Structure 1
Amino acid sequence: MACMCGVPVEVRATVIPIVIYWVYSGLYMALEYTGKYQLRRRQDGGDKNLASKRQMINPGCAASTNQPRLKIFGRLVAALLVMDTWQYFLHRLMHANSLLYRYSHSKHHRLVAPYAFGALYYHTPEGLLLNTAGGFVAMAVTGMPPCAAMVFFSLVAMRTVDIHCGMWVPWHPLNLLFSNNTAHHELHHQPDGSDFNFSQPFFVFWDRILGTQLPYTVGKAEGGGFDLKVTKKA
């Protein structure tokens, strides 16, 4: 089954084992503190470990501290650019190729008016190719340390939700930081805008460079909310 309870299988396959690992480990940690089930005497164990529990919890960030912070930040920014490049061209290909669109990407475009948890509504192969593979390519190209990768994948997840949420939040810090936003992607999901605004999830420079950006304005609507209007064809 590709999707259950609105959560794609590749997301569950990634998240569930991690959750089980930490919850299951936590149960044993709770038993350890009771002092009733130790296989060794407590005083003979913990002091002899060459790695602390803190290192177990956060090994990636501990390893990253030896690298210059500016270098780590530079690799993170590079990863964002790689991810945007990967997604723009694959996304555009999925629209240009009738077979890819009909049998794969059209599922995502059933959402003409997207909402937050509909961001990952797509065929499993598309998700693996567009998102999962894109993330690993960004990691491989930039050589991000694990701590930076954690921030990177968190930003990818947050921006994917942001651009599909269907709401305009002017003060949202990530909307101020990144040029891509809900309005830009909302137009792409409209029937008359599906040939534009392929960029996602951070920037819009490929749309601008290659002439696929659909300009728009956002203004307050009477009665609350915001109006999204196209100003002219790209």
Structure 2
Amino acid sequence: MRVLVATAVLVERDAVAAAFAPSPAREYAIPGATLSRVTPAEGGPVVLDLLAAGVGPAAAAAATAAALTAAALDEQPSGPYDLVVSAGIGGGFQPEAPVGSLVLADEITAADLGAETADGFVPVTELGFGAVTHRPPESLVRAVAAVTGARTGAVLTVNTVTGSADRAAELRRRHPGALAEAMEGFGVAEAAAAHGVPVLELRAVSNPVGPRDRAAWRIGDALAALTGAFGKLAPALESWNPHDRTQ
């Protein structure tokens, strides 16, 4: 099974890679980026390519699409990807997703893709365009949540990180099932959907969603939680059938 893991920045990518130490990573270039290949176990059936895709949904979509296209055209035996995972740290809605916890998306939603009207925000789908939500495979979400202890709920993709209590409350009003927000998941999911590849989003909570209080951030703890989660992921991936899209 070949998995593409897209993070925003190198420190997140390195936190994922740390789950597989001392296994050396093999690096190779694709257009505009570098992939680091790791395996959960020597000779194991799961291979992960790690990609620091950039910050925000546009950069994440572009880099993920480049990696997926390169894999689809690759003549090596590893072939195309079976799964794409958007991973990293993010903000958690309190009290459901406390700092240091893990959130696994059962839906990946673009929270601010649409239009402001006199009656409030209207998602782009109500304007007759595109999509605002991607849903990961239910069976895989259940399996990964079971092995990692992650909470499951909506992860919102935003272009502007929330910085006020009013904005946090508005997001929760529009998306009552939301547990976390980040900036890349929807872009990664759009690229995966264009290639017909299923997607997951896994976030370690580094800060509360709301007023920006840097003293309350726990980035190191969140990165450690991300490493721990990926260290437990292999059994769930090995037991999942990526060709059964009904699950």
User: What TM-score, normalized to structure 2?
Assistant: 0.26
User: What TM-score, normalized to structure 1?
Assistant: 0.27
The structure with the largest alpha-carbon Rg is: 1
The structure with more helix, counted as a fraction of residues: 1
The structure with more strand, counted as a fraction of residues: 2
